[in-house]
Chain A
Amino acid sequence: MITIAFYFFAVLITLLFLVTVMSKNVLYAMTSLAAGMVLISGLFFILGADFLGVVQLIVYVGAVMALYSFAMMFFDVNKDVKEKNGSAATVFLLGGAIALMLVLVFSAPMIGQGAASLYPQVAGATNPQAVGLVLFTKYLVPFEVAAVMLLVAMIAGIILAGKKMDLSLSTTEEEILDETQGGDK
């Protein structure tokens, strides 16, 4: 049963991500990306990692939604995108090499049979509790560093977006605007 479910999800996810890469239509690419991300959470559910599955859902639904809003701004979604593709051989080689490397990296523990859990599961802990225990003991420092990094990114974003925010583009005189923006005419 679980094997069937796994292969079902695996085939679907692979196909959807292939569409993401191959399609020239922004709408198809992003929709299949979103669908693939949602289906990946199915793999987590199969493994019994409910919490991670839902986190995958929530995080990627929001992330891809933001991507959609960029697509809406930059592309006419109902027309094909003309890709600038210099050398097909280079693209194929690079993509293939990266894919091969990823497969090797992820299958290495299986081949070497060294796939042991570094941190034993606490008996009786529910899913979120188990995640929390690992996160706040063994991986506390990386977790906090990641948090600080996100905070920095957030502040940088606010500063970038909030620059000259009190200056109204519609009511200020043009000369003043030119001066404040460095006078590039």
Chain B
Amino acid sequence: MIHEVTWIGAAVKALIALLLVSAVAGFGTYIERKVLAWMQRRPGPAHVGPFGLLQLAADGIKLFTKEDFIPQFSNRLIFSIAPVITAGTAFIALAAVPLFPDFTFPSWIPLLGGVFVPSIASDVNIGILFILAAMAAGLYGPLLAGMSQQNKWGIIGAARTAVQFLSYEVVTGLSLLAPIMLVSSLSLVDFNNYQAGGIGSWMLWQQPLAFILFLIAGFAETNRTPFDLLEHEAEIVSGFVTEYSGLRWGLFFVGEYANMITIGVLASVVFCGGYSDLWLIPGWLMMGLKVSFFFFLMLWVRASWPHIRPDQLMWLSWKVLMPLAVVNVVITGIVMMAMA
């Protein structure tokens, strides 16, 4: 049964995605602090509210009331819009991300009764490329922030942004190419439907190498720990966020967490079955579980592994991961030709 997507449905979906992801992104900071604390034999935030849950509100109040500081010799305009680019593109990428299955409002609800809410706010038929492009554009945030703030740590952070972007972007694209060839579509809905047959039909089993490559590139894309070169405290103070304070700094953070969720969703939809029901577990819960796992994996890795140097990242991306990805694509192509 095919439903027509009205603009109300799309707007509702966009609103849900925006609210959900910004809430989860805020909550993510709490989760990150808790998980990292547990892995380091600490209790983590525990004093504000039950289990420290209200720490989030305390941090929010602190960020809101902090002085918005702009350095004297910085480029004020660019300095101001850089955080907006990061947060904005992170949410633009979410426009093409399926967060949970489509549903129809029951008819007894006033105003919205009978409105069909699609699984994707805007089901462009090149969804996966759109997400990658939007997330790539998001890297202008750190780049401009670092270049505009007249601070050597910022400049180094910006240079590392460019280096990191030019390294991992190839791997992201090539690692996703093999699954795209198998599904022969760029739409995430098609990806989901391709793997609808339970765990056995997950792309993960057909493309294990692509899955690992995509995860590695995803970690680089979201600046998570093995590749958190842009703002590594031990080396370059805070990199591109050195001069930021208050809400602008908070926007960078929200953008980073939204990106983490997007990568989690991409990994679940492309490789782990997406939002199809599994046994008795409904699709939206399945999706939530999988995205939570990938989110947890990022924190887990951050607690466990050391981070690497920029030159090691470039070496890894261009000389190890890219050849592997190309070989994977070629093998996939040969197997597909042989099967057909």
Within the complex, are A and B direct neighbours (CB within 8 Å)?
yes
Residues of A within 8 A of B (CB): 25, 27-28, 31, 34, 38, 41, 50-51, 54-55, 57-58, 61-62, 65-66, 68-69, 71-72, 77-78, 126-128
Q: Is B126 in contact with A51, judged by CB distance below 8 angstroms?
A: yes
| 5 A-B pairs in the complex with CB atoms less than 8 angstroms apart | A25-B75, A27-B144, A54-B133, A78-B73, A127-B126
A-B residue pairs, 8 tightest by C-beta: A57-B133, A69-B162, A54-B129, A58-B133, A61-B136, A50-B126, A77-B147, A50-B124
On chain A, the residues within 8 Å of B147 by CB distance are: 27, 68, 71-72, 77
Q: Total number of A-B contacts with CB less than 8 angstroms?
A: 83
The secondary-structure label for the interface of chain B is: helix
Interface residues on B, range: 20 to 34
A50 CB to closest chain B CB (Å) equals 5
**Seed contacts A65-B165, A69-B162, A78-B150; 9 additional CB < 8 Å A-B pairs:** A31-B78, A57-B133, A57-B137, A58-B136, A65-B140, A71-B147, A72-B162, A77-B148, A127-B126
What residues of chain B lie closer than 8 Å to A68, measured between beta carbons? 143, 147, 158, 162
Cβ contacts under 8 Å, B132 to chain A? 58
Distance between B265 CB and nearest chain A CB, rounded to angstroms: 18
Query: For residues 125 through 182 of chain B, which have their beta carbon under 8 Å from a beta carbon of chain A?
Result: 125-126, 129-130, 132-134, 136-137, 139-140, 143-144, 147-148, 150, 155, 158-159, 162-163, 165-166, 169, 173
User: Measured between alpha carbons, how far is A25 from B74 in the docked complex, in Å?
Assistant: 13
Question: Quick one: which of B126, B134, B150, B169 contacts A128, CB cutoff 8 A?
Answer: B126
Please tell me if the beta carbons of A65 and B133 are within 8 angstroms of each other in the complex. Answer: no
Is B115 on the interface with A (CB-CB < 8 A)?
no
Find chain B residues with CB under 8 A from A61 CB. Answer: 133, 136-137, 139-140
Q: Name B143's closest neighbour in chain A (CB-CB).
A: A68
Residue B186 is within 8 A (CB to CB) of chain A in the complex: yes
A54 near B126 with CB under 8 A, answer yes
Q: Looking across the interface, which residue of chain B has its beta carbon closest to that of A38?
A: B137
Which residues in A have their C-beta under 8 angstroms from that of B130? 50, 54, 57
Nearest neighbor of A73 in chain B, beta-carbon distance? B159
